[in-house]
A = this chain, B = another copy of it.
Amino acid sequence: MDSIEIIGVKIEKDIEPGDDIPELIIEALNNMNIKLEERDILVICQKIISKAKGFLFDASKVKPSPKALELARKLGKKPGLIEFVLRQSKSIFNIWRRVIITETHHGLICPNAGIDKSNVKGENWYSFLPPDPDMEAQKIREEIGKRLGVYPAVIITDTMSRPFRRGQVNFAIGVAGMAPLLDYRGKSDMYGKPLRITIIAIADEIAAAAELVMGKTKRCPVAIVRNYKYPRSEQASAKELIVKLDEDMFL
C-alpha cells in the first residue's frame, strides 16, 4: 500500500535573529518522540528562516529612491516599503490596484517581492525572502544530518498567489537533497503510448501538501513528509521550477 504521512512539527518559540533552526527542529522532534528517518523530507516555511537569519527590515528606516517615492504616493503605500520591494526585485511584472507584482531576484513572480508583515514583530517591520533559499535548505540539511546522522531532503516554502486561481498555496522556493521535478519523459501510458504529462513539479506538490498541517495560526512552521520516494539529487535547485518569462506559454 502506498501511503504518505505528513506530520506537523510545532515550534512554540517566537523565532528571533540568531536562533538555530536546525536545533529547534531537533528539539521539537525529540519532544514529539519522532525519530527522523532516511528519506524523510523536511518542509520549512521561509518565515522562520527569514526571522532567524535577520532577513528583516524596518520600513521607516529605509531611504526611498525617487522612483519608490513616486510609486508609494501613487499606490498609497509606505515609501520605505516600496523602496525595499524594488530592491528585492529584478523587475516590476504588473501593478494591479494597489498591489505591485514583481519578479524577485530568484525569478518568483509574486506580490511585493514576497515581503511580508505577518508574524513579524514590530509595527514597521517586515520580513523578506532569503536571498538564496537553496543554500538555506542545504545548510539545514547538513546541520541536521551532522547532528542526527540522518540527512533529510529539505524544501523551503512560501505561500503565494497564483494566476487564474483564487486562494494561495504553498510553493517550493528552495530545495536540497531531492530533485524538484519528476520526469516522465520516455515513459508510456497503459496502452504503450507516450505520456502527455511529462514533468511533475513534485517539490511544489510536497510544499502544498505540507501547508495542510502547517496552517497559518498553528505555530507549526515545519512538516515532515514521510514515505514518499523522491528522486535524490545533490545538485538540485528550486530554480529548476521557474519558467523564464519569455518561455512561458501562458504569457
Contacts and interface: CB of A to CB of B under 8 A. Distances in A.
Contacts of A1: 7-8, 32
A101 B249 CA distance: 8
Contact of A193 (B93, B117, B168, B209): B117
B189 A94 contact: no
25 contacts: A3-B5, A3-B213, A4-B5, A4-B6, A4-B213, A6-B209, A14-B190, A96-B249, A101-B249, A108-B164, A117-B196, A118-B197, A119-B190, A161-B250, A163-B163, A165-B204, A165-B241, A167-B199, A167-B201, A167-B204, A168-B199, A168-B201, A169-B200, A205-B211, A206-B212
Contacts of A117: 193, 196
Taking residues whose C-beta sits less than 8 angstroms from the other chain, chain A's interface range is: 35 or more
When all copies of this chain in the complex are counted, the total is 2
Interface stretch (A57-65, A84-92, A137-145, A215-223): A215-223
A161 B213 CA distance: 25
Given A164-B243, A164-B248, A217 B195 contact: yes
B14 A8 contact: no
A175 B89 CA distance: 37
A44 interface: no
A243 to B, nearest CB: 5
| 7 A-B pairs with least C-beta separation | A167-B201, A209-B209, A2-B8, A96-B249, A208-B208, A163-B250, A205-B208
B191 A121 contact: yes
